[in-house]
């Protein structure tokens, strides 16, 4: 699904909406993590479910308040909990029987290769744009946020130690009551060897670095849709922009995705203000 107006319509900027495939990762809620810089924390005290030998950690539905359950005046806002500025946020982690782990990570400001973005565009049905232009657009964007699928293999020397740490924090029994507060975990690099990193989602924003920001090119790999990753991506990006004191965050949305943005706190045509495009008829 493409959640936003795609910029750069010279090669036809049509909006597409791919159907969502089955969830690739078991959705659960991540435990709250203390944002202590430099402290690698295991996520194993998060609620887990064992399914086909896969231990699944956390997911996002509850992270920012489930919209369905909270259609009230006091609906929580993204603004309520901006959190600390982080470069990376672990959204989902699954562990395979062989000890390898797959993580989906929100990354703010990391380098994104234009070719990877365009591969993703083709996957969601957007025709590829000239790479040089995409590269320049990424470079000149105020903020580039991405979703990265990371596969890690355990380092044999350290795996026992980390299991212990995990057992220890499980044993603390903070357990479920304290664990559902809806803040994703800091990414813990650990000593595991990163085998691969794949771009599976992206959003970027142009801005004057002070008052306004406009979000473009919101997309998630169709293989990973249906898990709330698009929502997490945009919400984290909005948080990052608000943290930088950008008070006016805008975007252009196709009619199919208006509700997607509404539930996050965006409003169409606020105070009657109309989105307009240069589209001369002469």
Partner 1 sequence: MYGHRVEEAAGGILRPPPISRADTEFEESVGVQFVEGREGIRIPELNELFEKVGFPKRDPERLKVALENTYHVIWVRAAKQSRLARQGQLIGFARATSDGVLSATVWDVAVSPAFQRSGLGRALMERLTKKLVEDGIPTITLYAEPQVVAMYEKLGYVRDPDGIRGMAFQRRKKSEKEKTGLLTRA
Q: Please name the helix (run of DSSP H) or strand (run of DSSP E) that holds residue 177, with its range, or none.
A: helix 175-178
Q: Judged by CB under 8 A, does residue 3 bind partner 1?
A: no
Interaction of residue 9 with partner 1, rule CB under 8 A: yes
Nearer to partner 1, 104 or 251 (CB): 251
Cβ at position 65, least distance to partner 1 in Å:
13
φ, ψ for residue 149, nearest 5 deg: -95, 120
The closest of 50, 46, 45 to 62, measured between CA atoms, is 46
Q: What whole-number distance in Å separates Cα of residue 145 and Cα of residue 280?
A: 32
> Is 209 among the residues that bind partner 1 (CB under 8 A)?
yes
Any contact of residue 12 with partner 1 (CB under 8 A)? yes
From 106, 180, 261, 279, the catalytic residue: 261
Least distance CB 2 / partner 1 (angstroms): 12
CA neighbor of 188 nearest in space, from 25, 3, 57, 61: 57
Name the one range near partner 1 by CB under 8 A: 43-51, 59-67, 174-182, 267-275. Answer: 267-275
Give yes or no: 180 in active site: no
Task: Rank residues 10 and 177 by Cβ distance to partner 1 and give the closer one.
Answer: 10
d(CA 86, CA 232) in angstroms, rounded, equals 14
CB of 15 closer than 8 Å to CB of 6 = yes
* Non-local CB neighbours of 177 within 8 Å, separated by 6+ positions: none
Q: Is 15 in the site for partner 1 (CB under 8 A)?
A: yes
By CB under 8 A, which span of 54-62, 86-94, 95-103, 266-274 interacts with partner 1? Answer: 266-274
Residue position matching structure tokens 């657009």: 137
Minimum CB separation from partner 1 for residue 146, in Å?
A: 16
Nearer to partner 1, 126 or 224 (CB): 126
Euclidean distance between CA atoms 145 and 148, whole angstroms: 10
Does residue number 252 form part of the binding site for partner 1 (CB under 8 A)? yes
Entry field: residues in the chain: 282
Name the residue nearer to partner 1 (CB basis): 99 or 109: 109
Tell me if residue 120 falls in helix, strand or coil.
helix
Residue 60 to residue 67: CA distance in whole angstroms: 12
Q: What would the x/- binding string for partner 1 be over residues 115 to 144, using CB under 8 A?
A: --------------x---xx-xxx-xxx--
Is residue 67 a contact residue for partner 1 (CB under 8 A)?
no
**What is d(CA 255, CA 46) in angstroms, rounded to the nearest whole number?**
37
The residues annotated with a catalytic role in the active site are: 261
Binding site for partner 1 (CB under 8 A): 5, 7-10, 12-15, 77-79, 129, 133-134, 136-138, 140-142, 204, 206-212, 214, 216, 238, 242, 245, 247-255, 258, 261, 264-282
């Amino acid at each position: 699904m493409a959640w936003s107006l795609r910029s750069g319509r010279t090669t036809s900027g049509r909006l597409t909406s791919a159907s969502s495939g089955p969830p690739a990762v078991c959705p659960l809620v991540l435990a709250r993590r203390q944002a202590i810089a430099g402290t690698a924390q295991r996520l194993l005290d998060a609620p887990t479910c064992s399914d086909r030998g896969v231990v699944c950690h956390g997911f996002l539905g509850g992270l920012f308040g489930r919209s369905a359950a909270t259609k009230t005046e006091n609906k929580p806002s993204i603004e309520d909990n901006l959190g600390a500025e982080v470069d990376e946020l672990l959204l989902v982690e699954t562990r395979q029987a062989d000890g390898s782990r797959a993580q989906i990570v929100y990354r703010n400001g990391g380098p994104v290769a234009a070719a990877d973005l365009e591969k993703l565009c083709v996957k969601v049905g957007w025709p590829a744009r000239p790479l040089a232009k995409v590269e320049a657009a990424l470079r000149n964007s105020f903020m580039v946020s991405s979703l990265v699928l990371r596969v890690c293999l355990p380092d044999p020397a350290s795996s026992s130690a980390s299991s212990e740490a995990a057992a220890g924090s499980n044993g603390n029994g903070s357990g479920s009551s304290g664990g559902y507060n809806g803040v994703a975990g800091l990414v813990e690099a650990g000593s595991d060897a990163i085998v691969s990193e794949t771009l599976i989602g992206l959003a970027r924003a142009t801005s004057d670095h002070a008052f306004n920001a406009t979000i473009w090119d919101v997309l998630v790999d169709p293989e990973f849709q249906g898990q709330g990753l698009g929502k997490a991506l945009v919400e984290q990006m909005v948080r990052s922009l608000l943290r930088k004191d950008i008070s006016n965050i805008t975007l252009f949305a196709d009619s199919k995705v208006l509700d997607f943005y509404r539930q996050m706190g965006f409003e169409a045509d606020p105070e009657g203000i109309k989105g307009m495009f240069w589209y001369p008829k002469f």
